[in-house]
Amino acid sequence: MPTRAGFVLLIAGTFGAVCAQPSQYPKPAELPNPYRLVEGWPTLPKSMNGGNWGEVIRVHVAKNGNIWVFHRCFNTVPPGHATCVARGNSNPPILEFDPSGKLVKSLGVSLFAYPHGFTIDDDGNLWVSDVNDEDTILGMSAKNADGVLMGQEVLKLSPTGKVLMTLGKEGISGNGPDTFDRPTGIAVAANGDVFVSDGHAPNQHNSARVVKFSKDGRFIKAWGHKGSASGDFDEPHDIFVGGSQARVYVADRRNNRIQVFDQDGNFIAAWKQFGQPSSVFVGKDDTIYVGAAFPDPGAKKGELRGIVVGNAKDGSLKAFIPDPADPDKLDVGTSASGIAADDAGSIYAADVAAHNLRKYMRVK
């Protein structure tokens, strides 16, 4: 047993180690970049907007290796939150590509005003969210053909685009068990439980929470409020459930941290070393990928953007992929607003600001 003096020294040493912990993480520029950009991937048909992307918000890799993309109907206005309203049949918001980058399928026309969250469950179903909360966008009505305001909901779609389930009430905001206020992301656990990050900024009800449902859409619980305390959020922008520990990872954007929970909502960790996160994905091998921004006085516009690669179990950092876009040429919006990786470790980044979809391969 340590002496009283030894015990004091032990406590002081432990406290010092905890306080000093953030300094152990290298800055992004100090990390290696063992990835290369795959040029010319994917192949977007010229029949779709002349082969040019608009704002791309999310990307996900299905079990069969195909890559699904959720984007804002090849639109770029309003900048940073482009609309799908009145974009027509030639601008579908959901695209499926094979690994070579060839377009396989497109769907989702007329379902969304402001596409945001997206994931795929183990059965191949698509889960998508619409964060629209405006009656009109650029002078156009955001109501669908049935006269209902689009937005404030999460949809479960079949791989062919059939609506299988609706969470929330379309066009109605709230922070109760059956309403959302701008739901930003969706994650589906192995047992089918559904987790929704709710509260894109700004929103009417000051929502900033995670809402959990059973696989059949029954409300289970919610946790978090707007704030900076552990377990609270300020614009939870993305969510993922995965890794060997099946934890819940939330990109708590305005709090500049990734928060980690178990599936009951118990707080585990808050990681500031990943910068200001807009997207988060965790692979089967416990690699975590985060689309992030870091303050950097030496960078253009005082901000360094890119993809941070780390360990999802302890938060350690492995690599940093700088954003290739010139900040002076970007419209409003974030870099790597959506992130995913396949089993080979290739990374896919959906970009709102630079209007593209990028693929990176690890250099052997």
CATH topology of domain 273-364: Thrombin, subunit H (2.40.10)
**Cα–Cα dist 243/341, whole Å:** 12
Taking 90 as the threshold, does the pLDDT of residue 356 lie above it? yes
Alpha helices in the chain (DSSP H): 4-20
Question: Which amino acid does the sequence have at 65?
Answer: G
Q: Which DSSP string corresponds to 60-74?
A: EE-TTS-EEEEESTT
**Model confidence band, residue 332 (pLDDT cutoffs 50, 70, 90):** confident
Contact 260, 271 (CB under 8 A): yes
Q: In this predicted structure, what is the pLDDT of residue 276?
A: 97
Q: What is the mean pLDDT of residues 46-55?
A: 96
Average pLDDT over every residue of 43-63: 96
Spatial CA neighbour of 112 closest among 86, 138, 90: 86
How do the domains of the chain map onto residue ranges? 37-132+151-170, 273-364
pLDDT, tens digit, for every residue of 200-240? Answer: 999 999 999 999 999 999 999 999 999 999 999 999 999 99
| Rg, C-alpha atoms of the chain | 20
C-alpha span between 83 and 337 (Å, rounded): 16
How far, CA to CA in Å, does 266 sit from each of 249, 259, 316? 12, 11, 21
Percent of the chain with pLDDT over 70: 94
Reported confidence tier of residue 23, pLDDT bands at 50, 70, 90: low
**Mean pLDDT score across all residues of the chain:** 93
Q: Lowest mean pLDDT of 26-30, 101-105, 127-131, 325-329, name the range.
A: 325-329
Distance CA 255, CA 311 (A): 20
Q: Is the pLDDT of residue 299 over 80?
A: yes
Q: Is residue 198 helix, strand or coil?
A: strand
Instruction: Read off the pLDDT of each residue in 304-328 and give the average, rounded to a whole number.
Output: 96
Average pLDDT, integer, range 310-320? 98
Cis preceding linkage at 42, omega within 30: yes
Strands 317-322 and 338-341: unpaired
pLDDT > 90: what percent of the chain? 88
pLDDT tier, 334 (very low <50, low <70, confident <90, very high otherwise): confident
Helix/strand/coil for 307? strand
Tokens of 120: 């795929």
| Structure confidence by residue, pLDDT tens digits, 262-284 | 999 999 999 999 999 999 999 99
Count of residues for the chain? 364
Q: Say if residue 364 is exposed, middle or buried (CB neighbours under 10 Å; 0-12, 13-18, 19+).
A: exposed
Sign, CA dihedral 22-26-28-29, equals positive
CATH number listed for the domain at residues 37-132+151-170: 2.120.10.30
